[in-house]
Amino acid sequence: MTLKEVTPPVFPSGQLLPNEERIAQLFEKNTYSVVNIFDVTLRPTLNVTGLVEIPEGNGSGVVWDGKGHIVTNFHVIGSALSRKPAEGQVVARVNILASDGVQKNFEGKLVGADRAKDLAVLKIEASEDLLKPINVGQSSFLKVGQQCLAIGNPFGFDHTLTVGVISGLNRDIFSQAGVTIGGGIQTDAAINPGNSGGPLLDSKGNLIGINTAIITQTGTSAGVGFAIPSSTVLKIVPQLIQYGKVVRAGLNVDIAPDLVASQLNVGNGALVLQVPGNSLAAKAGILPTTRGFAGNIILGDIIVAVNNKPVSFSCLSIPSRIYLICAEPNQDHLTCLKSS
């Protein structure tokens, strides 16, 4: 028999199906907006065995704008951040894919980080033609069952695409940064170590979340992954770029634990224990709980509502001033304070 006789006919692949073509185009368009990130404090081990290993300090990120800002997870560069680097200090190496298919390497300088939402922003000095900012979509209109795509660098395999659906909404995410993040997106698109910090896209190719965590007993995807919704990303990232940190509203007062408040005959209100002397709460006139000359406890103020959301309270056996507190989100000052 000849080689020709044992070789089967080869059929042309032909055109992709419409859905396949759409997904392929979405990947080709968005892959240049996804970067590979390495924590500079961790050295990847040289792999001479040919086996797949999980690179330490390896993750993904997205190009945020044409100025070189890169968004990723806090925990992706957590080792470098644990050393409390100054703003502008190099904390990561960032590989970005050029249109010719060549990876370009840049130093990622710290702009700002927020552990509470497991987000961080880096800055690279790259030309504008190399930077392809990702399109940000709206996560507030997501529905369970709609298609989504994840692009990242799982196990160090750069620019890997996985496809799935939104399998849950408003999940509590326990991030590797050691914090719980509310409002998370659950997906069955395969998310593995190295995907952290990469984008979760909707069927139009818009960013709807930053992939951040998986539930697994083996270290690999078990079909349950989570992403920080774009609504949260849009609140945090601009502040990190502008201020280097997240500015959150706060009264800067110490509130009595439930047990202490109960022992003092306080019902459901928030009893103020301490007020720092130079705080905005002190300037607003909020009084702390103190002791009188005879050692008796003099209750401080009780906060009964925040942003017009009332906190119910029972009748108090000891009189105290009661306040309704209103605060503007993302502001350091009280915008209204009135006695009721």
Give the CATH number, domain containing residue 150: 2.40.10.10
Nearest to 229 by CA among 128, 336, 317, 117: 117
The answer to the question of residue 211 being in a domain is yes
Separation between Cα atoms, residue 30 and residue 271, nearest integer Å? 51
Does 328 have pLDDT greater than 50?
A: no
Low-confidence winner among 106-115, 140-149, 205-214, 221-230 (lowest mean pLDDT): 221-230
C-alpha dist (Å) from residue 48 to 52, 53, 58, 83, 194: 10, 11, 18, 31, 20
Look at residue 7 and tell me if it is in a domain. Answer: no
**Catalytic site residue from 75, 158, 175, 320:** 75
**Catalytic-residue membership of 254:** no
Which of 223, 243, 263 is the C-terminal boundary of a domain? 243
Q: What is the domain-level CATH number for residue 333?
A: 2.30.42.10
pLDDT above 70 coverage of the chain, percent:
83
CA 163 to chain centre: 21
Same domain flag for 119 and 211: no
The one-character DSSP state at 33 is: G
The residue among 243, 267, 294 that closes a domain is: 243
Is residue 155 within 8 A of residue 54, CB to CB? The reply is yes
Q: What are 261-295's pLDDT values in tens digits?
A: 888 888 777 888 888 887 778 888 888 998 888 88
230 φ, ψ to 5°? -65, -25
d(CA 66, CA 45): 33
Q: Are residues 204 and 296 in the same domain?
A: no
- Most confident stretch, 9-13, 230-234, 295-299: 230-234
Q: Band the pLDDT of 56: cuts 50, 70, 90.
A: low
- Please check whether residues 196 and 288 belong to one and the same domain: no
Average pLDDT over residues 164-188: 89
Q: Are residues 235 and 196 in the same domain?
A: yes
Which of 39, 114, 118, 301 does the annotation list as catalytic? 118
pLDDT of residue 332: 39
Contact 172, 242 (CB under 8 A): no
Mean pLDDT of the chain: 83
| 118 catalytic per annotation | yes
Instruction: Indicate the number of domains in the chain.
Output: 3
pLDDT of residue 219: 62
Together in a domain, 274 and 178: no
The verdict on residue 277 lying in a domain is yes
In this structure, are 211 and 279 located in the same domain? Answer: no
Structural domain ending residue among the three candidates 123, 157, 173: 123
Choosing from 196, 221, 230, 320, the catalytic residue is 196
Query: Where does the pLDDT of residue 312 fall: very low under 50, low under 70, confident under 90, or very high at 90 and above?
Result: low
Strands (E), the chain: 34-39, 58-63, 69-72, 90-97, 103-114, 119-123, 147-152, 160-174, 180-187, 199-202, 207-214, 225-229, 254-255, 270-274, 290-291, 297-298, 302-306, 309-310, 322-327, 334-339
Task: Give the range with max mean pLDDT: 231-240, 257-266, 310-319.
Answer: 231-240
Residues 29 and 104 in one domain: yes
Strand partners, 322: 302
Confidence of residue 52 (pLDDT cuts 50, 70, 90): very low
Q: pLDDT by residue (tens digit) across 58-78?
A: 899 999 999 999 999 999 999
Q: Are residues 149 and 187 in the same domain?
A: yes
Q: Domain check: are 238 and 148 in the same one?
A: yes
Tell me, yes or no, whether 106 and 74 share the same domain. Answer: yes
**100: annotated active-site residue:** no
* pLDDT of amino acid 258: 76
pLDDT (0 to 100) of residue 217 = 60
**Range(s) of the domain holding residue 282:** 254-339
Is residue 242 scored above 90 in pLDDT?
yes
